[in-house]
Amino acid sequence: MTNIRTKAQIEKIKGAGRIVAACHENLRNIIKPGITTLTIDKFVEEFITSHNAIPAQKGYHGYPYASCTSVNDEICHGMPSRYILKEGDIVKVDMVVNKNGWMADSAWCYAVGDISVTAKKLMTVTKECLYIGICKAIDGNRLGDIGYYIQRHAEKNGFSVVRDFTGHGIGNSMHEDPAILHYGQKDRGIRIQEGMVFTIEPMINEGDYDLYVDKDNGWTAYTSDGSLSVQYEHTIAITSNGPEILTEQEF
């Protein structure tokens, strides 16, 4: 069942979204060669708790950290570690904030120092995929329209869309109906309606979309071919004026 949220409820989710966005704005200045992904996670946890909110990923199905920090060929659910980021890496930082029972979710990709031309292009195209998907998230369209246009843009640029992870409804819990696929066919799927709140979070691979999950930690997904993967994610609300991004950062 898809929850339809009132304007007042959407404002609460936006309250959580502002904390997520502000945390990401800070990470731009923190992420550089020489720091560990655990340092990122420590900052995220302290930032969220200092805003009287809860890092909702910590403890979620036993996940032990406030953030996921996925480096290079790690698609998502990378575990913060003592790994020292080096020039040329890319790192995706994903977090969910629970503020007074309302949640917002956003992942962002950061370049560590100077990165390759390919990595830059993959970051640009993936961010475009996210915003193309958001533009299609209007009352009256169908969910398939979001996936179709994201897939088209990724593949037109020679990249592939990860199939095994999707966006999701969000509100009082982190993952609610419906699932938001980042590939598919237009005019298919359920109708998008005012009051829906969900994430769009395309994971786009440089090579093939095949993946495997780390057997030791049970969480981290890697590209099977070792190629780079990029993700950007926003939480959005469907309003009568179109999509409203609840986790938008200041530029």
CB of 96 to ligand MF3, least distance (A): 5
In the complex, least distance from residue 168 CB atom to Co ion, rounded to whole angstroms: 6
- Is 199 or 227 the residue whose CB approaches Co ion more closely? 199
CB of 225 to Co ion, least distance (A): 24
Residues of span 69-88 touching ligand MF3 by CB under 6 A: 77
Residue numbers 216-235 binding ligand MF3 by CB under 6 A: 233
Q: Please, which residue, 63 or 83, has the CB nearer to ligand MF3?
A: 63
Identity of the residue, 140 or 218, whose beta carbon is nearer to ligand MF3 in the bound complex: 218
Tell whether residue 68 is a contact of ligand MF3 (CB under 6 A).
yes
Residue 245 binding partner per list Co ion, ligand MF3, none, with a CB distance cut-off of 5 to 8 Å that depends on partner kind = none
Would you say 85 and 32 are in contact if contact means Cβ atoms under 8 Å apart? yes
